[in-house]
Amino acid sequence: AQRVTQPEKLLSVFKGAPVELKCNYSYSGSPELFWYVQYSRQRLQLLLRHISRESIKGFTADLNKGETSFHLKKPFAQEEDSAMYYCALSLQGGSEKLVFGKGTKLTVNP
């Protein structure tokens, strides 16, 4: 079965420190992976997707098929990065379903 694992429920770093939010997936097909973010009192929104290989708000994520991982990284965390982060997997075959991980709450301390 398809599964997305985010091993850290909570992650706390200091401003300016590097941050890495881990995501591992289990899927036999060719995955499309996404990171969604939910800031306090805001709606869930897309942060970035692996197919575009872009950097958004200083965050990057590389798909590692060998390790089945899609970790989210930022070299210098900012207080405004504090939020709930969800890794999500899209399935092949025309399914519109997204499989989400349980999420990691990131807190960036001043």
Note the residues at the interface with another protein (CB under 8 A): 4, 9, 32, 34, 36, 43-46, 49, 51-52, 86, 88, 90, 95-103
Do strands 104-109 and 10-14 pair parallel, antiparallel, or not at all (unpaired)?
parallel
- Tell me 103's DSSP state: -
Nearer to another protein, 74 or 103 (CB): 103
The count of other CB atoms within 10 Å of the CB of residue 5 is 14
Contact status, residue 49 vs residue 56, Cβ threshold 8 Å: no
Nearer to another protein, 17 or 51 (CB): 51
**Least distance CB 105 / another protein (angstroms):** 10
The count of other CB atoms within 10 Å of the CB of residue 26 is 13
**Least distance CB 73 / another protein (angstroms):** 20
**Least distance CB 29 / another protein (angstroms):** 15
**How far does the chain reach from its first CA to its final CA, in angstroms?**
41
Nearer to another protein, 27 or 86 (CB): 86
**Least distance CB 17 / another protein (angstroms):** 25
